[in-house]
A and B are shown apart, each in its own frame.
Chain A
Amino acid sequence: MPAVQETVERVKAIDVEQYKYGFETTIEMDKAPKGLNEDIVRLISSKKGEPEWMTEWRLEAFRRWQTMREPKWARVNYPPIDYQELYYYAAPKKNPAPKSLDEVDPEILKTYEKLGIPLREQEILAGVEGAGSRVAVDAVFDSVSVVTTFKEELKKAGVIFCSISEAIREYPELVRKYLGSVVPVSDNFFATLNSAVFTDGSFVYIPEGVRCPMELSTYFRINERNTGQFERTLIIADKGSYVSYLEGCTAPARDENQLHAAVVELIALDDAEIKYSTVQNWYPGDAEGKGGVYNFVTKRGDCRGANSKISWTQVETGSAITWKYPSCILRGDNSRGEFYSIAISNGYQQVDSGTKMIHLGKNTTSRIISKGIAAGRSENTYRGLVSAHRKASGARNFTNCDSLLIGDKCGAHTVPYIESKNASAVFEHEATTSKISDDQMFYCLQRGLDEEEAVALIVNGFVKDVLQQLPMEFAVEAQKLISISLEGSVG
């Protein structure tokens, strides 16, 4: 089992105090003053060279946000966030944006190297033709997209893959039509904040009938101290198109908590399919649970067209707090939504994550497979909603929610809501909670595995159904990450 082998080596090499990705890159930042007001919103908009309508859109969101309160219903605890103590804009200094890799700040490239951004990507960044698999990276360094690759080839297929800022400038009609159409400006406290101050993110448009020729991938990284990270992603799959999108993240260690409030909107028109995969590995905090990332994300997909399909797969291992519910609105008849999740918590991490499947159209189907693993002193909650509208005849859902506990100081909770207003809807829910038993451990140890190898093996077996949903190479990385996350959970 080479993957496990490698995992174990990586696990050994890591110490909670010296989080592998816990370093900072020293690059001069172009930073707006602390705090948030209309001037800051205007500044962000003007720094981005946005048209007037966008500035207004942001201001409306900001005004709305001022009337809203932070939601408190999730099973997470954290000290109050002072939103006036945060910076809302930071951009790497070497502007204007580089034309090629040579022009990219070598410090940034070094950061990628340390992160182990599989540098098959760097090869691709360097333009080595036919190097490994075909992955296009829109690398986000703090808030500004630094390098976008493979643009040319994608262009040939008619695919637009660029930063959201660029899209606002270059494709205003598309952005205006779809931005905020899945997650409205007033949706929730964090999404509204994001609408006001988002600084970057990705934009994808797949034209009618096009199967995107490669997997699209974005690496996020929070770098500047105290900079809230507000990503905005918008993906539109036009009729009969297909796209697979990968998102992966790491962040450096620091003392203050870092706020992250991203919004992701997916739109699938008739017969279109979007597959969105995430591996999230943000800094979870030190051994006492101090200093980790707060991750308040709104992710939602709209199966707007008939026979459309949206599939979310997530591997959540990082962050001190995770508040995240990638959801599907099944509007089109015969549309399908899927949610596959592995959520791992260790140390003092708190995870409140799940999904919503909103069945509106006829004969819509959804499937939820959630695997929660709690270790250390962490709390891990699955919160889900499956609902069928009056007109959603023939709606079907299957939900399977499994929790695995490691040790006796952690908690796993399952909070499923089911609402059906249509008598023909069929919803199934299965849930289990189990513990790695001492006998299982002893059995593995007796055969020569050490404790960490044994836990890694058992856990990888537990999450297998979900790992299989990830694109191949992502699955291998995820498997490593899972084992790293559980380091120190036994003994």
Chain B
Amino acid sequence: MLQINNLVVEIEGKRILNGLDLSVKAGEVAAIMGPNGSGKSTLSYVIAGKEEYEVLDGEILVDGENILELEPNERAARGVFLAFQYPLEIPGVSTMTFLKAIMNAQRKAREEAELTTPEFMKRVKAAAQELHIDQEMLRRGLNVGFSGGEKKRMEILQMALLEPRFCILDETDSGLDIDALKIVAEGVNTLRDPARAFLVITHYQRLLNHIVPDTVHVMANGRIVRSGGKELALELEASGYADYREQAA
């Protein structure tokens, strides 16, 4: 589903990704682990299409189509979803309003009919319940005054409603207590599907106890330096990243 070949990326003249190769199949949950500064978040932003990154070489194929030339919203319409490490606040725009706008924008881009209000309400209600999000929160300005855990749950709520085909979770576990972590992980696990792929970016192994990956990739200095099964995460937890820093250097 996702195929990245020889991706080279710079920001302000500084090289962050250095010939990265990665492949994720439909139905697969792939974890990316690595020390701080290894380029994990950059990878997620470049896939989603953030502007300030300069792609010098390589390609990102989603279902065989190179998405590098597409606008972020066009990538979103093709099913790319990024759950942000730090979700943004939009004051004055109620969460409900925002949810309806993004769902209909994607439907429009795919030439589907807009959701009726009752249908929209039904979907939001069901998804919110699953993530323990109460109605009061949906009436508030998007992410305004939300706790760290609430923001992360809101990201997963949007993911559930948009039904993307390729989901990136960028450090979704950061700032979560164990209860919130469980809720979020459960939300992600319900979305696991043979037609959907996940890229779970995390610094710690902890999240992977709850979202059990099919594959684990270790990233250092802008490329994947080792790949394996879920046991690789446990090994990292025990030995740390020190070896990989040296290896990449």
Show the binding face of A for B, using Cβ within 8 Å: 1-2, 4-5, 437-440, 442-451, 453, 457-458, 460-465
Complexed CA–CA distance, A4 and B105 (Å): 10
27 contacts between A and B (CB under 8 A): A1-B100, A2-B114, A4-B101, A5-B114, A439-B88, A440-B89, A442-B72, A443-B87, A445-B71, A445-B73, A446-B48, A446-B76, A446-B82, A447-B76, A447-B158, A448-B76, A449-B73, A449-B105, A453-B101, A453-B105, A457-B97, A460-B92, A461-B90, A461-B91, A462-B91, A462-B92, A464-B92
B163 to chain A, nearest CB (A): 12
Evaluate contact between B141 and A461: CB separation under 8 angstroms.
Answer: yes
Complexed CA–CA distance, A4 and B108 (Å): 13
Q: Is B181 an interface residue (CB 8 A)?
A: no
Evaluate contact between B88 and A443: CB separation under 8 angstroms.
Answer: yes
Complexed CA–CA distance, A406 and B82 (Å): 25
Given contacts A1-B104, A448-B106, 14 further A-B contacts (CB under 8 A): A440-B88, A443-B87, A443-B90, A445-B71, A446-B73, A446-B75, A447-B102, A449-B73, A451-B73, A453-B105, A461-B91, A461-B92, A462-B92, A464-B93
Q: Is B241 an interface residue (CB 8 A)?
A: no
Complexed CA–CA distance, A439 and B48 (Å): 13
* CB-CB under 8 A for A438 and B92, given A446-B72, A453-B101: no
* CB-CB under 8 A for A443 and B84, given A438-B51, A457-B101, A458-B93: yes
Q: Is B109 an interface residue (CB 8 A)?
A: yes
Residue of A nearest to B87 (CB): A443
Evaluate contact between A449 and B93: CB separation under 8 angstroms.
Answer: no
B199 to chain A, nearest CB (A): 14
Question: A residues within 8 A CB of B92?
Answer: 460-465
Question: B residues within 8 A CB of A451?
Answer: 73
Q: Which of A4, A450, A458 has the most CB of B within 10 A?
A: A450
Question: A residues within 8 A CB of B162?
Answer: 447-448
Q: A457 contacts which of B73, B76, B90 (Cβ < 8 Å)?
A: B90
Q: A448 contacts which of B50, B52, B88, B105 (Cβ < 8 Å)?
A: B105
B221 to chain A, nearest CB (A): 25
* CB-CB under 8 A for A450 and B105, given A445-B72, A458-B93: yes
Question: B residues within 8 A CB of A443?
Answer: 84, 87-88, 90
Q: Is B98 an interface residue (CB 8 A)?
A: yes
* CB-CB under 8 A for A442 and B104, given A461-B92, A461-B141: no
Complexed CA–CA distance, A367 and B84 (Å): 39
